[in-house]
C-alpha cells in the first residue's frame, strides 16, 4: 500500500505542473520547450506505469460482481477520453492544461470545453471505476476521478487570477461542460491540426488496445469482459 500511495502522489504532483504557470514557465525557460515536452511526456508515462504496477501488487478484494454491461462503459468513453486528452495537450489553451505556450491562439478544442485534458482524465478514470469492481481499482481510478474534478476547480481559479480582464471574453466563448458554449450559440465548432492528430492517434491507440494491447499491459481483455 505504501508503494501505491507513493506512486499516486508522484503521478498527481507531476500532472499538476502544467496547471502552475510559474513552475511550467521556469522549466521551459531552463531547458527549452522541445526538451520540456519530451521530458514531461516520458515522466508522465513512467509515473503512470508505476501507479499501475503498484496497484497490481495490492491484494484483490472484490466489491461487486463483474457484468458485461460494465465493460461497455470504458469501451465507449475511453476513446473519447483519449481524444480529449491528446487534443488538449496539443492545443494552445489560455485557461487550462496544455503543453503549448498559452499566448497562442486557442485551439479548436477550447470551443468544445476549456478543460479537455481534465475531462479526458475524468471520463477515463470514472468509466474504469464502473468496469472494475475491486478495492484496488476503486482506490486507483477513484482517486484519479477526484483529481480531475478538483483539478477543474483549481484551474478555473488560477485562470481567472492569471488572465484578469481577459478572462470574461474567454469564459463567454467557452464552457466547462463539453459543447455547452457551442449549443448555447456562444462558440462555433471548428477543426484544426491538433484535432486531426488527436483523432488519428486516439483511433490507432484504441485499435491497438482492443486487439491485444490492453490485455498485454494490464492482463484484461475489454472485449472479452464485455461478453460476460
Distance CA 217, CA 181 (A): 38
pLDDT of residue 18: 62
Q: Decide if 95 contacts 73 (C-beta within 8 A).
A: no
Q: Per the structure block, which three cell numbers stand in for 25?
A: 514557465
Average pLDDT over residues 199-224: 91
List pLDDT tens digits, range 111-142: 999 999 999 999 999 999 999 888 988 988 99
pLDDT of residue 207: 95
The single-letter DSSP state of residue 134 is B
The position carrying cell 526538451 is: 35
> What is the CA 152 to chain-centroid distance, rounded?
11
Q: How crowded is the C-beta side of 139, counted as CA atoms within 13 Å?
A: 21
- φ/ψ bin of 188: left (φ > 0), alpha (ψ from -120 to 50), beta (otherwise): beta
pLDDT of residue 34: 76
Average pLDDT over residues 212-220: 87
> What is the CA 41 to chain-centroid distance, rounded?
13
Q: Which of 37-41, 131-135, 164-168 has the highest mean pLDDT?
A: 164-168
Distance CA 120, CA 155 (A): 15
> 26 in helix, strand or coil?
helix
DSSP 186-220: SS-----HHHHHHHHHHHHHHHHIIIIIHHHHHS-
Distance CA 26, CA 109 (A): 26
Each domain of the chain, given as residue ranges in start order, spans 1-58, 62-225
Q: Which helix (H) or strand (E) holds 183?
A: helix 180-183
Amino acid at each position: 500500500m505504501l508503494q501505491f500511495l507513493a506512486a499516486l502522489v508522484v503521478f498527481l504532483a507531476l500532472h499538476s505542473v502544467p496547471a502552475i504557470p510559474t513552475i511550467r514557465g521556469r522549466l521551459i525557460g531552463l531547458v527549452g520547450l522541445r526538451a520540456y515536452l519530451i521530458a514531461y511526456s516520458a515522466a508522465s508515462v513512467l509515473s503512470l506505469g508505476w501507479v499501475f504496477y503498484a496497484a497490481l501488487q495490492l491484494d484483490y478484494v472484490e466489491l461487486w460482481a463483474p457484468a458485461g454491461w460494465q465493460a461497455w462503459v470504458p469501451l465507449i468513453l475511453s476513446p473519447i477520453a483519449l481524444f480529449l486528452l491528446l487534443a488538449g495537450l496539443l492545443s494552445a489553451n489560455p485557461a487550462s492544461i496544455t503543453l503549448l505556450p498559452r499566448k497562442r491562439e486557442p485551439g479548436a478544442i477550447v470551443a468544445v470545453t476549456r478543460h479537455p485534458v481534465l475531462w479526458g482524465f475524468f471520463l477515463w478514470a470514472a468509466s474504469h471505476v464502473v468496469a472494475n469492481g475491486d478495492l484496488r481499482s476503486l482506490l486507483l481510478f477513484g482517486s484519479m476521478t477526484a483529481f480531475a474534478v478538483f483539478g477543474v476547480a483549481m484551474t478555473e481559479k488560477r485562470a481567472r487570477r492569471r488572465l484578469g480582464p481577459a478572462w470574461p471574453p474567454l469564459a463567454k466563448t467557452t464552457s466547462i461542460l463539453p459543447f455547452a458554449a457551442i449549443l448555447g450559440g456562444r462558440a462555433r465548432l471548428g477543426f484544426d491540426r491538433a484535432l486531426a492528430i488527436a483523432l488519428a492517434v486516439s483511433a490507432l491507440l484504441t485499435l491497438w488496445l482492443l486487439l491485444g494491447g490492453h490485455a498485454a499491459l494490464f492482463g484484461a481483455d475489454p472485449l472479452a469482459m464485455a461478453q460476460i
